[in-house]
Amino acid sequence: MTLTVSPGAPVSGVFILEDDPVLRDRLTRLLAASPQFDVLAAAGSLSEGQALLADLPTPPDICLVDLGMPDGSGLELIRAAKRLPATKVLVFTMFGDQSSVLNSLEAGADGFVLKDSKPDDLIEALQSTLNGGAPISAAAASHLLRHLRASPGPASQPPAAQTVAPKVVDDFGLTPREKELLELLARGFSQKDVARISNISPHTVSAHIKSIYAKMAVNSRSEAVFEAVQSGLLDLGVTRA
């Protein structure tokens, strides 16, 4: 959906699902104050959210979704939103446990940030998600990485039948710089942190991320990390000095 407040100034339509009325109003005012966002609707329950989302004349560009609803789970709204063409979903919740992170990503969420995020960081996360990024709070990313480390690989052969062979590494054609940035992202750093650590601009980081996703044929940070770990490109169990 593209609205305009002035010629050449695109505005992204935002849908909010948040059961706390005070926070919902605060989020609405925060986004309404930004010329790049237009709050299309804000719901305080799952049922209200589903009804409002279905009644919108055009799909929102992005949904900002809390998970804990009085009448269900925000996961249901994530699934409904991802059935809409081109709609992104950013989870905004206080639940940073592994189950919440993994269930959200499996439901189709494009990013996951916690409610202790600063307003500017939330705005940046929304922008990143709309631009094809996958912002994940450091705490949430740590749960994802632990899950990936614990996930079993391909079915093992019986010990007697196993043979020792060098591990095949698929680098997906990534450049050294892209590999470096992918590892930083995998370790939970935000795009802003990656830019600071690598001494490059956030715009350049965003361009590299788009290139990484294209080469790896993935659409999110979580997918990129998973493929990199499975291929042997990243070994997240290694502690670097």
Whose CA is closest to 110, among 212, 226, 220? 220
What average pLDDT does range 116-144 have in this prediction? Answer: 84
What pLDDT digit, counting tens, does each position of 159-170 carry? Answer: 444 444 334 467
Q: Where are the domains of the chain?
A: 2-143, 168-241
The Cα 78–Cα 241 span in angstroms is 39
What average pLDDT does range 86-102 have in this prediction? Answer: 86
What pLDDT digit, counting tens, does each position of 12-42 carry? Answer: 999 999 999 999 999 999 999 999 999 999 9
Whether domain 2-143 has CATH 3.40.50.2300 = yes
Residues across the chain: 241
Binned at pLDDT 50, 70 and 90, residue 150 comes out as low
The Cα 60–Cα 45 span in angstroms is 18
Binned at pLDDT 50, 70 and 90, residue 154 comes out as very low
- What value does the mean pLDDT of the chain take? 81
The Cα 154–Cα 85 span in angstroms is 34
Instruction: Give φ, ψ of 165 to 5 degrees.
Output: -140, 145
Q: Which CATH number fits domain 168-241: 1.10.10.10, 3.40.50.970, 2.70.70.10, 3.40.50.150?
A: 1.10.10.10
